[in-house]
Amino acid sequence: MKTPLAGDAAGFASLGLADSLVSAVAALGYEEPTPIQREAIPVLLSGSDMLGQAATGTGKTAAFALPLLDRLLRDLKTNRGRARALVLVPTRELAMQVAEALHKYAKGSNLNVVPVYGGAPMDHQIRALRRGAEVIVGTPGRVLDHLRRKTLDLSTVEVLVLDEADEMLDMGFAEDIDLIVAETPETRQTALFAATLAPRIAAIAGRHLKTPKRVTIAKEKLGAGKMPLVRQVAYIVGRGQKMTALGRILDFEGPKSAIVFCRTRIEVDELTDTLNAHGYGAQALHGGMVQKQRDRVMQLFRSEQADILVATDVAARGLDIDHVSHVINFDLPTAPEVYVHRIGRTGRIGREGMAITLANPREHRFLKFVQALTKQKIEILNLPTEADLKKRRLEATKETLREQLAEGGLDEVREIVESLVQDFDILDVAAAAVKMIHDAFDKSTGEGEVDESRDEARRSGRDSGRDERGPRDSRAPRPRQSGAMMLLRLSVGKEESIRPADLVGAIAGEAKISSSAIGAIKIHDDYSLVEVPADLSDKIIAALRTTKIRGHKVTIQAKPA
């Protein structure tokens, strides 16, 4: 079956949006409108006020952002610098998220979007507003502060959006909203979104909306038997330990084919690079990729030339792949409903699947919401230990022996066994053979000295846009280092174009250790942080002090992780 292209005639183009916006959402990887987008965009494009009911995670940001931009971009040149749209949201996090989405959709248009929210320096926001902004995204308290300071003029606003209005009312912003709306023209178009249309929402809509059209997107009901055959587990880990935890889980599970979900495209790129540097066949999929790149990645994943697909929710929308064995939430999604859609990508066609979530202690409540929605238990597990990995590798060896025994063709080696049993117990002979096979597995999957030629070939393959290795043998998980870790701070970072692969290559190659021993890597603008085994840290520091990374000498600081 042909996968629909992002923004094709049956998708966003059919809603009446300008071609530039259709192209923008296509480039971001949107394959088709969500229900709230399909219903709300034509209403808002018509100029009507709208009262929308839709839960978080349903795509409502694009539902109001795209028609808002469609209106503003048509005559941007003649109306530059004036505040023409205001989006009110309850929290600073949502303000940043909405502003980022507007930037993405309007990329290349020179439209100015300024977020204003509490907890950020007022003088920075004042300077941004004075430079001119066509769209303001803000929290009620901070918007009101700017109005009182006369640093914000809403007299030219054409579009007003009240997003998550029910939450703003819960936070006590009802009076602030009334005061802010009073500063906007009566001729404006107003859209109000809420998860529920309770009487208090109807009251605020009655005060500020003119004969609004109502759009309601019913919450998806999950009937019995609708959930896929998915075992759901979670590991509670600190943010800084996620990469180490992910590596341990991948080694233990040995997934045949996994999708790892991240929240942002930057995290997708960084995690993909780190996974490849540690020997996993990973490919990135996010909204910053053009369709040609997306098609190539999907072909690699569908043909099982890549073990792991690292993706954002937006980019993974519409994926239809039957052979996914594991879905891993490296970052939690924005809403429980999004979680359900994520894990629905495994356990297809009667197959069993596994959904694994990495959550920090504060996110435990979210897991309870998911359990209430799915009516299924999420097991909270401890990370696999080195003993667990060893046991799993022995099981892999046992399975390989079973396959060989079933295959037959043992006549040539039977003579060797017959001669050995004259001097040794037959169980000892068998145990020695199993040990040799098991040790061979360990060597073939990365234990011991690093294979520099193999690592160099892997880096070259990734630089050309393709990992030339075949998929890792899922029957033989890679061992990894356990025990105390040391955190190294290296004096090179993004400003020197450093990537995780550069750090892994330098440490493994110069210190002559396995790349699998290296833990989490975080690259900042002017420095990088790398976790390494404490018992190897002196050896690694000594090696790095005598080498250069991308032509730069490095200084190193160390402290316990």
The CATH number of the domain holding residue 265 is 3.40.50.300
Assess whether 377 and 420 both reside in one domain. Answer: no
What is the pLDDT, as a whole number, of residue 475? 34
- The DSSP element (H or E) to which 214 belongs, if any, is strand 213-216
Please report, rounded to a whole number, the percentage of residues in the chain having pLDDT higher than 90. 31
The per-residue pLDDT for 153 is 95
Residue 410 has pLDDT above 90, yes or no: no
Which tokens go with 438? 């098991």
> Does residue 442 form part of some domain?
no
pLDDT the model gives residue 219: 61
β-pair type (528-533, 485-490): antiparallel
The mean per-residue pLDDT over the stretch 363-376 comes to 83
**Average per-residue pLDDT for the chain:** 81
What single string gives the DSSP state of each residue in 242-276?
A: HHHHHHHHHHHH--SSEEEE-SSHHHHHHHHHHHH
Quickly count helices (H) and strands (E) in the chain: 21, 20
The secondary element (H helix, E strand) that includes residue 283 is strand 282-285
Q: Which of 44, 37, 33, 39 is nearest to 4 (CA)?
A: 33
- Write down the pLDDT at residue 8: 40
Question: Sign of the CA dihedral 278, 280, 281, 285?
Answer: negative
Instruction: Name all contacts of 386-392 with Cβ < 8 Å and 24+ positions apart.
Output: 386/479, 386/482, 386/483, 388/252, 389/248, 389/251, 389/252, 389/477, 389/479, 389/480, 390/479, 392/252, 392/254, 392/477
Owning domain of residue 335: 230-385
pLDDT number for residue 473:
39
In this prediction, residue 152 carries a pLDDT of: 96
Give residue for tokens 């009262």.
51
Nearest to 98 by CA among 128, 132, 126, 139: 139
Q: Specify whether the CB–CB gap between 502 and 550 falls below 8 A.
A: yes
Task: Report yes or no: 13 and 22 within 8 Å, Cβ to Cβ.
Answer: yes
Question: What pLDDT is stored for residue 37 in this prediction?
Answer: 92
Residue 462 lies in a domain: no
Nearest to 393 by CA among 475, 468, 291, 304: 475
The SS3 assignment for 191 reads strand
- Rounded CA-CA distance 413/436 in Å is 15
Residues 408-421 have a mean pLDDT of 82
CA-to-CA distance for 308 and 246, rounded, in angstroms? 12
> pLDDT (tens digit, 9 = 90+) per residue, 478-533?
444 446 788 899 999 888 888 888 888 889 888 888 777 888 888 888 889 898 88
User: What's the full length of the chain, in residues?
Assistant: 561
Question: Among the listed ranges 115-129, 336-350, 355-369, which one has the minimum average pLDDT value?
Answer: 336-350
**For residues 49 and 212, is the Cβ–Cβ distance under 8 A?**
yes
Q: Examine the pLDDT at 158 and tell me if it is beyond 90.
A: yes
Domain assignment present for 244:
yes
Residues 140 and 207 in one domain: yes
Q: Which of 245, 242, 247, 281 is nearest to 262 (CA)?
A: 242
**For residue 40, is it within any domain?**
yes
| 262 and 400 in a common domain | no
Find the angle CA(238)-CA(477)-CA(250) to the nearest 5 degrees. Answer: 30
Percentage of the chain beyond pLDDT 70 is: 85
Assign 241 a pLDDT band (cuts: 50, 70, 90).
confident
- Asked whether residue 98 falls in the same domain as residue 143, the answer is yes
Q: Do residues 275 and 282 make contact, with C-beta atoms less than 8 angstroms apart?
A: yes
Residue 177 has pLDDT above 80, yes or no: yes
Least confident of 180-189, 230-239, 240-249, 469-478: 469-478
CA dist 380 → 119, 347, 456 (Å): 35, 20, 38
Report CA torsion sign: 63, 64, 68, 71. Answer: positive
* C-beta separation of 492 from 547 below 8 A: no
Distance in angstroms (rounded) separating the CA atoms of residues 125 and 227: 46
- 53-57, 268-272, 521-525: lowest mean pLDDT where? 53-57
- Regarding whether 57 and 149 lie in a shared domain, the answer is yes
- CA max distance for the chain: 100
Mark whether 33 and 119 lie in a shared domain: yes
pLDDT tens digits for 274-330? 888 887 889 998 877 777 888 888 888 888 888 899 988 767 765 667 678 899 999
Q: Which pLDDT score, from 0 to 100, does residue 56 have?
A: 63
Full-prediction pTM beyond 0.85? no
- The pLDDT score that the predictor gives to residue 448 is 39
Query: What are the start-end ranges of the H helices in 408-519?
Result: 411-420, 426-444, 452-463, 500-511
Span 127-148, average pLDDT: 94
Which among 161, 193, 216 is the end of a domain? Answer: 216
Angle of the 500-511 helix axis to the 537-544 helix axis, nearest 10? 100
Span 455-468, average pLDDT: 36
Q: Are residues 396 and 381 in the same domain?
A: no
552: pLDDT strictly greater than 80: yes
Q: Residue 306's pLDDT is what?
A: 85
The yes-or-no verdict on residue 340 having pLDDT over 90 is no
Span of 145-154, 165-174, 286-295, 497-506 with lowest mean pLDDT: 286-295
Confidence band, pLDDT 50/70/90 cuts, at residue 348: low
Please name the residues in contact with 175: beta carbons below 8 A apart, sequence gap of 6 or more. none
Same domain, yes or no: 151 and 252: no
C-alpha dist (Å) from residue 316 to 225, 249, 287, 343, 357 = 24, 22, 9, 12, 17
Most confident of 167-181, 210-224, 225-239, 418-432: 167-181
Q: Is residue 434 part of a domain?
A: no
* Same domain membership, residue 371 and residue 423: no
Report residue 310 as tokens: 């690292």
Residue 189 has pLDDT above 90, yes or no: yes
Do 194 and 249 fall into the same domain?
Answer: no
The strand pairing partners of 263, in sequence order, are none
Q: What are phi and psi of 311, to 5 degrees?
A: -145, 160
Whole-angstrom Cα distance, residue 473 to residue 254?
Answer: 8
Determine whether 383 is exposed, middle or buried from the number of CB atoms within 10 Å of its CB (0-12, 13-18, 19+): middle
Q: Is the pLDDT of residue 557 over 60?
A: yes
Q: Which residue has the higher pLDDT, 110 or 227?
A: 110
Answer whether residue 430 shows pLDDT above 90: no
Report how far residue 92's alpha carbon sits from residue 109's, in angstroms, rounded to the nearest whole number: 25
Is residue 438 included in any domain, yes or no?
no
- Asked if residue 166 and residue 78 are part of one domain, the reply reads yes
Highest averaged pLDDT of the listed ranges 64-73, 297-306, 450-459: 64-73
Query: What are the φ and ψ backbone dihedral angles of 368, each rounded to 5 degrees?
Result: -65, -40
Query: Quick one: pLDDT at residue 351?
Result: 65
Q: How far apart are CA 128 and CA 131, in angstroms?
A: 5
Domain-embedded: residue 190: yes
pLDDT at 4 over 70: no
Shared domain for 262 and 366, answered yes or no, is: yes
- What is the DSSP code (8-state) at residue 232? E
Question: Cα(514)–Cα(55) distance, rounded to whole angstroms?
Answer: 47
Domain count, the chain: 4
Q: In what order do the strands lie in the sheet with 50-53?
A: 113-116, 135-138, 85-88, 159-162, 189-194, 50-53, 213-216
What CATH number is attached to the domain comprising 509?
3.30.70.330
Confidence of residue 80 (pLDDT cuts 50, 70, 90): confident
Is residue 312 within 8 Å of 268, Cβ to Cβ? yes
Average pLDDT score over residue span 95-120: 90
Domain boundary among 322, 350, 385: 385
Residue 470 lies in a domain: no
Q: Supply the pLDDT for residue 40.
A: 95
Which residues does 54 contact at the CB level (< 8 Å), separation at least 6? 36, 60, 63, 193, 195, 215, 216, 217
| Predicted confidence (pLDDT) at residue 3 exceeds the cutoff of 50 | no
For residue 40, the surrounding DSSP H or E stretch is helix 35-45
